[in-house]
Amino acid sequence: MVNKSSAPTPRSLRIPFIRRCTLFIGKTESPGLLIDLSVAGVYVQARTLPAEGDEVVVKFRVPGNDRLLQIQTTVVYVNRNQKHPVHSLPPGAGLRFRNLSVDDSKLVVGAIRAYCLSNPLYRQYL
């Protein structure tokens, strides 16, 4: 039997995660809004969108922790147009984490677990 409290969080599990963030695309700093979070990366809404393949640093905080996470990412896809105002993501980009430190990984996993515990629809993933 698997102890669910120590079971790994599935890499494909994405949770809603609306938080302000800052993107650093090259030397350009741009405000953004995180839309969702997984252990593999984030989706971010931003006015200034990077290109697919760009390296971007994203800075944000997770609930319950004051430390500002500063994570290197790679842009894996760009969504420039919102196809449907209700059923699709706003214009933004999918960012895959690179070189995620052990401490940052623990904070990301902790935020995902806390969300899953607080939401009956997501508890099945723990």
Residue 117 falls inside a structural domain = yes
Residue 110 has pLDDT above 90, yes or no: yes
- Give the CA distances from residue 25 to residues 15, 29, 31, 50, 75, in Å, rounded to whole numbers and listed in that order: 24, 7, 11, 7, 10
48-99: pLDDT as tens digits: 899 999 999 999 999 989 999 999 999 999 998 866 665 678 889 999 999 9
Residue 10 falls inside a structural domain = no
23-52: pLDDT as tens digits: 999 899 999 999 999 999 999 999 889 999
- What is the sign of the dihedral through the CA atoms of 54, 55, 57 and 58? positive
Q: What is the pLDDT of residue 5?
A: 46
Residue 9 falls inside a structural domain = no
Residue 7 falls inside a structural domain = no
Q: How many domains does the chain have?
A: 1
Q: What is the mean pLDDT of the chain?
A: 87
Residue 8 falls inside a structural domain = no
Q: What is the pLDDT of residue 4?
A: 46
Q: Give the least confident one: 2-6, 8-12, 47-51.
A: 2-6
- Give the CA distances from residue 93 to residues 8, 33, 89, in Å, rounded to whole numbers and listed in that order: 26, 11, 10
DSSP bridge pairs for 78: 93
Residue 70 falls inside a structural domain = yes
Residue 54 falls inside a structural domain = yes
Q: Do 69 and 62 contact (CB within 8 A), yes or no? A: yes
CA 82 to chain centre: 19
Q: What is the pLDDT of residue 125?
A: 73
CATH of the domain at 111: 2.40.10.220
Residue 101 falls inside a structural domain = yes
16-25: pLDDT as tens digits: 999 999 999 9
Parent domain of 34: 15-125
